[in-house]
A = this chain, B = another copy of it.
Amino acid sequence: MVLHGSPVGLHRVLAPAGVLPQAAERLDTRADLWPDETRVRVQRLNLDAASFRQLEHDHDHDGDRIRAAVLDIVARRGKMQNPVTGSGGMLVGRVEAVGPQSPLGLRVGDRVATLVSLTLTPLVIEDGLARWDGRSEQVPTDGYAVLFGRSGAAVLPDDLPVALSLAVLDVCGAPALTARVVEQHGSAEGPVVAVVGGAGKSGSLSLAAAKVAGARRTIGVVPHQAEADLLAAAGVADAVVVADARDPVALCEAVATAGGPADVTVVCVDVPGCEGGAILATAGGGTVVFFSMATSFPAAALGAEGLAADVTMLVGNGFVPGHADLALGLLRGHPGVRWLIERRLGSAAPGAATMAP
């Protein structure tokens, strides 16, 4: 055994040589750990939605065939990475072994969710997926996975439903980076922060994070009145406005009427074409944080140049130290955020059309 593993898992790459685990065709899944690794007894896989849809489509919604396909991928690649979509998902399990040099701070017995993708996580399934009918992204299983020195994992809290914690952990980079940008803004009275897609999971958490971090005013932008009513009822934003984020002039004007331009604009909606509006809604010297995977790099770069807009544009990085704890803390401290996210999970209390006081 090589005594010094790579913190990003290069020592587990079997083929092709020299690539990162995410780009690898096949990973080494041996149960023995390198000194900085951690082994997790897997209880559930949460497949990425795009991956599961592709499997359903390819296998005519036949659960047995979908199950066989997932088993085949994991056996062949040593990780759950859909070869068509390239995506993976996350997992829930219990820590069963911790290498002596692991920097992750986990203890044997901790119940954890991974914060890095299944696409780079060595995985062995030991129960043939016998308890899964192949009809849902939620895959109960028994097996093990290996976390590298630089992998991320969060201990699941006891005081929150697992589904709620997972929903929050899935987007926890957004509020953390928003908080950092607001804290670094440097003005005494704090920045004006606009969050496009403010009623969603990452959006509502980012609004709450911005306020806690010192924003002078937070503006939630939503696409229609029904969402505006929800966001207003949740009490998460100082102001709520309706605008089509793909319409630059409309977005800019909506933010302006609510107290803009924004010093910080956070884009949390997964629709293409929001770059120009976000740039236009942001004051000179301000910052735009793009969290949407639908963001076009050239549209952002050329859009700012075409508007001669001196704005700093950040690629939303899903990893910020402490992001999981920050997001779970925001959920606990902001009943409005919890209410919005539980509604999306379909787990709001029956009849809870309006938020409880």
User: Could you tell me which A residues sit within 8 Å of B by CB distance?
Assistant: 8, 10, 18-23, 115-117, 119-120, 150-152, 173, 247-250, 276, 280, 290, 293, 295-298, 300-321
Contacts and interface: CB of A to CB of B under 8 A. Distances in A.
A250 B315 CA distance: 24
Contacts of A311: 317
B301 A317 contact: yes
B306 A298 contact: no
Contacts of A319: 304-305, 307-310
Given A20-B306, A22-B306, A313-B315, 9 more contacts: A19-B247, A20-B248, A22-B302, A23-B276, A151-B308, A293-B298, A301-B316, A310-B321, A312-B314
Contacts of A115: 305, 308
A305 B116 contact: yes
24 contacts: A8-B280, A18-B247, A19-B249, A21-B306, A22-B276, A22-B302, A23-B276, A117-B302, A117-B306, A152-B308, A290-B297, A290-B315, A295-B297, A296-B297, A297-B315, A304-B317, A304-B318, A304-B319, A305-B317, A305-B318, A310-B317, A310-B319, A312-B314, A314-B314
Nearest to A119: B306
B120 A306 contact: yes
A21 to B, nearest CB: 8
Contacts of A250: 18
Given A20-B248, A310-B321, A317-B312, A293 B297 contact: yes
Contact of A320 (B22, B306, B307, B310): B310
Contacts of A116: 305-306, 308
Contacts of A290: 297, 315
A117 B247 contact: no
Contacts of A10: 249
Contacts of A307: 8, 20, 150, 319
A175 to B, nearest CB: 15
Closest 10 pairs (CB-CB, A-B): A305-B318, A313-B315, A150-B308, A304-B317, A295-B297, A297-B297, A152-B308, A300-B315, A22-B306, A305-B319
